[in-house]
Amino acid sequence: MSAHQTHTVVAHKESFLRRYIFSQDHKIIGIQYYLTSLFMAVVGGILAMLIRLQLGWPGSSGIRPDAYLAFVTMHGTIMIFFFLTTILTGGFGNFLIPLQIGARDMAFPFLNMLSYWLFPPAIIVLLASFFVSGGAPNSGWTAYPPLSALKEAAPGSGLGQTLWLISLAILIVAFLFGSLNYITTVLTLRTRGMSMMRLPLTIWALFITAILSLLAFPVLLAAAVMLLFDRIAGTSFFLPAGLVVGGKLIPSAGGSPLLWQHLFWFLGHPEVYVLILPPMGFVSDILSTFSRKPIFGYKVMVASISAIGFLSFIVWGHHMFVSGMNPWLGTAFMATTLVIAVPSAIKTFNWLATLYKARITISTPMLFALGFVSLFVTGGLTGIFLGSPTIDIQLHDTYFVVAHFHFVMASAALFGVFAGTYYWFPKMFGRMMSERLGRWHFWLTFLGIYATFFPMHYLGIAGMMRRIYSPLLYPHLQPLQPLNVFISVAAFVLGVSQLIFAFNFFWSLFRGEKAPVNPWRANTLEWTAPSPPPHGNWGETLPTVHRWPYDYSVPDAREDYIPQTVPVAVPGARREV
Amino acid sequence: MGESPAVQTMAVRTLQEIDQEQVLTSDWGGGRSPFGVSWAKFMMWIFLASDALTFAGLLSGYGVARLHSGNWPRQGEIFNLWVVATMTFILICSSATMAMAVGSARRGDRAAAVRFLALTILGGLSFLGMQAYEWTNFILEGARLTTNPWGVPLFSATFFVITGFHGGHVTSGVLYLLGVTIRALRGRYSAEGVEIAGLYWHFVDLVWVFIFTLLYLI
């Protein structure tokens, strides 16, 4: 190898365009994904505020019914596909995978750059649907046909729906390119000594997530292609015979709307684990670091991440209990759904065991990690209700479901994003974020989320429908209006308190305290690289790994943490430490 | 399998390539385990897994469409099965020549590798030509995306979408092999590069076997 050493010192001078815009460096691509996703979070958040404006004051908001449905559709689409998925796997995944496994970059940096550069075109096509005639699609983020297949079905089912499908198809290709890189990089570019069972749980989670999106998204791509043919070429893959829309018989025959639901949810359910597994990984690492204790049950954590990944492919039918599916099939899907609660509960108990009798340091990343556990448990418990077909018949498509998934998937994943941001910001940008503003942000967000979403359980049980334009349309919902006003006010507080985060982010970017190499005294490899790491991450030689990443508070050790690069002491010499 | 001479003589080596070599040639628990293959070959394998699921989505859509329409037309009377069988035979033969190309490249026999690659491309082009002929006939008989003379509209819709999607794969495969052949002619190729292209080509053939069985035979 020494013969090649002369080649390793590569002067890395590139133009601004190559360095920051069309960069092939995983860290720049990660930050590009991160910032673009944050922009989409702002768009999705504004839509959420408009939704609450309408539901709080239905008579006086000035929002038309079709515009309201378009806001709901776009809020879901943007938050799930264009914010949480992209920021977690595209943002954190790109930034962290090479740094935590000890690689210089992704396996195929050019493909990685392509993956990012498909994202802005997808956004432009998606947002363009607001400005075409008929506006953005009205069919919800699940785009069920025939609503999404027929131009006559709703105002937004015209060009807007077509743009939505094209945008999603572009984004699926971006996810495909990303996933190919994440999986390959984790499996083939780990540094010396970094065996699979020495990987941080963040990497395990991102790795399983990449497998899920690699295998689930292509099925949605196939479905999107068929739906596009139904819309543009007049085929009827998803349209049954004898369909009457607006008093007119539609010349379609032989298709099945249920086919779309099966194909969509075959993606859709793994997708919610694409959103929740990476935060689970971040939270495991953050809890361990700030508890100064090894993560409890590392191998079981790896096994449960893998089990969740596998099971997520065989539970999709629990979204379709009321769709007219065979009841026997419903029972089978109920069984698999309840089984998936087991590995999820194992993870929760392992987090609690990690915290048990620990010397906990309360910091903003730790607060958000603890908040994640709380939100995940709250949302997970209502999932057990909904997993039972008999209860689901009552609660399906009500605000109970809205409350459930906003806790377990949306807010929990959002807390993963915040925990990860406060934790890795020093490594990403070389500066610390303000701790005081971080705590204000945490408490307002945490209480804001509970105040917003917890009362929705009650709305749902009382019968308020999921996509209803105005709760005042039905007498049985009218007494609920004061609660809707309360939820709207809570949601506005929640929305406004995100400005604290935005201010903290940009202020710290320029004015924050300079970050040391390892501000949290953590063990994983990224904390051995400079903050922020240079191109190539480490100098001439890659780090060598000698231990797992959770050696905190080891008895007789000099410090309460031992980074992965520290060699294991020779047995005879142990006493001298 | 040994390192091919072409890789050894590569002029410019980046930091990453050197690291990659280190990771692959030593026995520490890094990149060697659990899969001792290069990233490029591995990436092609998992891409194919993903692509297989796209086809699975389309084919299950086809299955549902068929189950929902009572009297599916009898394909044997509509398609010229001799033409289709010949197409299938040619595509399978091109898989064999592809395997020969990989073998030649591994032995370092560049001339033979180029010859077999050219034969594979020829096989792919003949397949595409016959598919164009078949589509033309089908369209002349009155089949369109939305309608056809045999009663079930989805019969022609699924046919065009699925064989078209597969034909797109064959077309990109031919372009891919053309790139590999040109690189081989210039001497800038590796046995592994040929092998990876071969993986894609075999996959496209394998998918056709499923499509042939499901769309034409049963």
Q: Which residue of A177, A180, A188 to mutate against B (max B Cβ within 10 Å)? A: A188
A236 pLDDT band, cuts 50/70/90, is: confident
Q: Considering only CB atoms, which chain A residues are within 8 Å of B207?
A: none
Q: What is the pLDDT of residue B13?
A: 55
Q: What is the pLDDT of residue B25?
A: 54
- pLDDT tens digits, A369-422: 999 999 999 999 999 999 999 999 999 999 999 999 999 999 999 999 999 999
- pLDDT tens digits, A318-336: 999 998 888 888 999 999 9
Closest partner residue to A191 (CB to CB) among B30, B53, B56 is: B30
Report the DSSP beta bridge partners of residue A245: A248
Rounded to whole angstroms, how far apart are CA atoms A310 and A297? 20
Q: In chain B, which residue's Cα lies nearest the Cα of A187?
A: B31
DSSP, res A568: P
Q: What is the pLDDT of residue B24?
A: 55
Q: Which distant-in-sequence residues (6+ apart) come within 8 Å of A217 by Cβ? A: A172, A175, A176, A179, A267, B50
Q: Considering only CB atoms, which chain A residues are within 8 Å of B55?
A: 222
- pLDDT tens digits, B96-126: 999 999 999 999 999 999 999 999 999 999 9
Q: A531-534: long-range contacts at Cβ-Cβ below 8 A with a sequence spacing of 24 or more?
A: A531/A426, A531/A427, A531/A430, A532/A27, A532/A427, A532/A428, A532/A429, A532/A430, A533/A27, A533/A99, A533/A427, A534/A12
Rounded to whole angstroms, how far apart are CA atoms A317 and A350? 29
Rounded to whole angstroms, how far apart are CA atoms A426 and A514? 8
Interface touch B57/A222, C-beta < 8 Å: yes
What CATH number has the domain spanning A23-205+217-237? 1.20.210.10
Whether pLDDT at A338 is above 80: yes
Structure tokens at A132: 């075409």
* A273 to A182, A562, B52: CA distances (angstroms): 16, 32, 22
Whether pLDDT at A10 is above 80: no
Q: What is the dihedral of CA A163, A164, A170, A171, to 10 degrees?
A: 160
In chain A, what percentage of residues exceed pLDDT 90?
A: 80
Interface touch A214/B50, C-beta < 8 Å: yes
Instruction: Give yes or no for a contact between A159 and A133, defined as CB atoms under 8 angstroms apart.
Output: yes
Report the DSSP beta bridge partners of residue A514: A431
ipTM of this model? 0.84
Per-residue pLDDT, averaged over A242-270, amounts to: 87
Using DSSP, state whether A220 is helix, strand or coil.
helix
Whether pLDDT at A572 is above 50: no
Domain boundaries, chain A: 23-205+217-237, 515-577
| DSSP-derived secondary structure for A118-143 | THHHHHHHHHHTTTSTT-S--STTTT
Rg (CA), chain A: 24
**Of A274, A253, A257, whose CA–CA distance to A210 is shortest?**
A274
The mean pLDDT of chain B is 86
Q: Considering only CB atoms, which chain B residues are within 8 Å of A219?
A: 53-54, 56-57
- pLDDT tens digits, A160-199: 999 999 999 999 999 999 999 999 999 988 988 898 999 9
Interface of B with A in 114-173 (CB under 8 A): 145-146, 152-154, 157-158, 161, 165
Closest partner residue to B154 (CB to CB) among A107, A187, A254 is: A254
Q: Which residue of B14, B25, B50, B62 to mutate against A (max A Cβ within 10 Å)? A: B50
Q: What is the pLDDT of residue A13?
A: 65
Structure tokens at A370: 């603890």
Residue A152 CB burial class (10 angstroms; 0-12, 13-18, ≥19): exposed
- pLDDT tens digits, A545-556: 999 999 999 998
- pLDDT tens digits, A18-71: 778 889 999 999 999 999 999 999 999 999 999 999 999 998 888 999 999 999
- pLDDT tens digits, A31-44: 999 999 999 999 99
Amino acid sitting at position B30: G
Model's pTM, two decimal places?
0.91
Residue B174 CA to chain centroid, in angstroms? 9
Closest partner residue to A218 (CB to CB) among B15, B18, B54 is: B54
Interface touch B61/A222, C-beta < 8 Å: yes
Interface touch B145/A193, C-beta < 8 Å: no
Using DSSP, state whether A561 is helix, strand or coil.
strand
Range in A359-368, A525-534, B141-150 the model is least confident about: B141-150
Q: What is the pLDDT of residue A538?
A: 87
Structure tokens at A270: 């793994």
Closest partner residue to A1 (CB to CB) among B22, B39, B42 is: B22
Closest partner residue to A7 (CB to CB) among B13, B29, B56 is: B13
Instruction: Give yes or no for a contact between A222 and A160, defined as CB atoms under 8 angstroms apart.
Output: no
Between residues B10 and A105, which one has the greater pLDDT? A105
Q: What is the dihedral of CA A15, A16, A18, A21, to 10 degrees?
A: -170
The mean pLDDT of chain A is 92
Q: In chain A, which residue's Cα lies nearest the Cα of B51?
A: A218
Sorted by where each starts, the structural domains of chain B and their CATH numbers stand as: 34-217 (1.20.120.80)
Q: What is the pLDDT of residue A5?
A: 37
Interface touch B61/A233, C-beta < 8 Å: no
Q: What is the pLDDT of residue A575?
A: 44
Q: Considering only CB atoms, which chain B residues are within 8 Å of A256?
A: 64-65, 68
Residue B100 CA to chain centroid, in angstroms? 16
CA pseudo-torsion sign A455, A456, A462, A464: positive
Q: Tokens 């369109």, residue?
A: B144
**Of A378, A507, A545, whose CA–CA distance to A454 is shortest?**
A378
Q: Considering only CB atoms, which chain B residues are within 8 Å of A195?
A: 29-30, 33
Residue B57 at interface with chain A, using a CB cutoff of 8 Å: yes
Q: Considering only CB atoms, which chain B residues are within 8 Å of A191?
A: 23, 30
Rounded to whole angstroms, how far apart are CA atoms B46 and A213? 12
B16 pLDDT band, cuts 50/70/90, is: low
Rounded to whole angstroms, how far apart are CA atoms B95 and B101? 10
B15 pLDDT band, cuts 50/70/90, is: low
> Residue A532: is the preceding peptide bond cis (ω within 30°)?
yes
Our CA-based measurement puts residue B149 at a distance from the nearest CA of chain A, in whole angstroms, of: 14
